[in-house]
Amino acid sequence: MNNNVKIKNITRTVQKENITSMQEVNTDICVVGAGISGVSAALEAARLGRDVTLIDSLPALGGQAVNSIIGIFCGLFSEGSDPYQFTHGIADDILRDLGRAGALYFRPEKHNVVMYDEVALSRWIENAVYENGIKLVLGASLSGVTVEDRRIRSIEIVTRYGKLRVNASSFVDASGDAALAWEAGLPCREPAEGKVYGTHMFVLEGVNADYAPASMEEVGERLKQRAEEYGLVRKDGFAFAFPGRNTALVNMTHVETPLEPLAAAQKALEGKIQADKVFQYLKKEYPSAFENARIRSYGLPGIRQTRWIVGRHQLTEEEVLTGTQFSDAIARTSWPIELHNRKNGFVWEPFSNDHVHYVPFSSLTPPDVDNLVAAGRCIDGDLAALSSVRVMGPCIAMGAAAAHALDLAGTGSIHEININELQERLKENLFRKDTSIWKK
């Protein structure tokens, strides 16, 4: 201890004075939800010169892409041996920067997918949000919405540090659960029967690197035969190795994801219990690969499809299967229908190599308000259609579309923007077909 430093050991008493006081934030575009679609919307809007405020109920950016450790970009590339990239915008920047940092792994098999290091993605998003001057409120849940004359005027949010009111010209609902549309009293959809299961992802470290990624899929095959013996709920799934890192990403649980607070917390604990059982299964069944492995991290509950908006158009399974070319298309993908509507497995319907399907702008826009666009997994689709377009490639494209549409609308109505002008701005995400980064 330095005896020469005099400690200012004086305290003061403070007391909350005005219990109704609320901090006010004024902004052009307010984005609710900082998952991959909200981040895409916020960054694109900031690059267009808009003042942007980004809000998330988690204390961290990145939504499920980071915090549920999804770990793989899907739906970003076409199928086949010479894939091209469907979505550009921030996807280009992420692929470039994470690629340079050695934080990507391009899996060479069909259904062209790219594994990423979630820590690297998290830091990329944080730096990008910071550098683009986006106002950020984390640990912030929606508590109220004011709607007047077909416009959302403001939202109220609660954080551990106090309450805020955000007044904005326009809003993006990128909450995944249509939280903004729901709070605004707009009609929303949920499965009429049954449910769509989520997954508690986890990452193993200390995996034997000789256990090649291709044979990792065999894990899922054997699971079909042995699941009951180990008390496992799900009878399929995968454990993908990340070459050079001795880690593996495991997606083998199925857990309910209710939108009720007590049940949601309970199911999160049950998801981890399932994950622990899966780990025991992997260790016993594949000792050469997992004998010395440990669970490095559990993701937050992975939530697939809960509640979503009613848009001007509901994207249908038929439109996805036939690749309907909408006059107001804003995103494209060829990701299979991947519907997790059974406890012990899921529907998987892949397409031919030349298949492409599209997302129309009208599936992002609730008809009863003029300044709200949804993006990501809470746009309007039937169960099967949504199960394809909710993956991250199209989510990034939908975020970009939301930002450009609101930029074009300004203080007017998103229902009256010039769609050709919007599509001109989004042309790379609709038409570009040059061979991608995949081959570099």
Ligand X SMILES: Cc1cc2nc3c(=O)[nH]c(=O)nc-3n(C[C@H](O)[C@H](O)[C@H](O)COP(=O)(O)OP(=O)(O)OC[C@H]3O[C@@H](n4cnc5c(N)ncnc54)[C@H](O)[C@@H]3O)c2cc1C
- Interacting positions 97-136 with ligand X (CB under 6 A): none
Smallest separation (angstroms) from ligand X to the CB of 12: 34
Measured CA to CA, the distance from residue 409 to residue 418 in angstroms comes to: 9
Q: Is 73 in the site for ligand X (CB under 6 A)?
A: yes
Whether the Cβ atoms of residue 226 and residue 314 lie closer than 8 Å to each other = no
Smallest separation (angstroms) from ligand X to the CB of 231: 20
From 61-69, 118-126, 160-168, 207-215, span contacting ligand X (CB under 6 A): 61-69
Whether the Cβ atoms of residue 98 and residue 242 lie closer than 8 Å to each other = no
**Is the CB of 156 or the CB of 413 nearer to ligand X?**
156
Smallest Cα–Cα separation from 346: which of 388, 375, 309?
Answer: 388
Q: Is 315 in the site for ligand X (CB under 6 A)?
A: no
From 22-30, 54-62, 353-361, 410-418, span contacting ligand X (CB under 6 A): 54-62
Q: Which stretches does DSSP call E strand in 14-134?
A: 23-32, 52-55, 72-73, 104-107, 113-116
Measured CA to CA, the distance from residue 433 to residue 365 in angstroms comes to: 27
Q: Is 402 in the site for ligand X (CB under 6 A)?
A: no
Q: Is 64 in the site for ligand X (CB under 6 A)?
A: yes
Q: Is 65 in the site for ligand X (CB under 6 A)?
A: yes
**Is the CB of 103 or the CB of 392 nearer to ligand X?**
392
Smallest separation (angstroms) from ligand X to the CB of 13: 34
Nearby residues of 156 by Cβ (< 8 Å), 6 or more positions away: 22, 142, 143, 144, 145, 146, 163, 164, 165, 166
Single out the residue of 175, 363, 365, 387 in contact with ligand X (rule: CB under 6 A).
175
Whether the Cβ atoms of residue 125 and residue 62 lie closer than 8 Å to each other = yes
Measured CA to CA, the distance from residue 124 to residue 371 in angstroms comes to: 29
Binding residues with ligand X: total (CB under 6 A): 40
- Interacting positions 17-36 with ligand X (CB under 6 A): 32-36
Q: Is 391 in the site for ligand X (CB under 6 A)?
A: yes
Q: Is 177 in the site for ligand X (CB under 6 A)?
A: yes
Measured CA to CA, the distance from residue 120 to residue 19 in angstroms comes to: 41
Smallest separation (angstroms) from ligand X to the CB of 61: 8
Tokens of 20: 């109704």
Q: Is 237 in the site for ligand X (CB under 6 A)?
A: no
Question: Residue 118 carries which DSSP code?
Answer: H
**Which residues of this protein are in contact with ligand X, per CB under 6 A?**
32-38, 55-58, 63-65, 70, 72-75, 140-142, 174-177, 179, 198-199, 201, 251, 302-304, 376-377, 390-392, 395
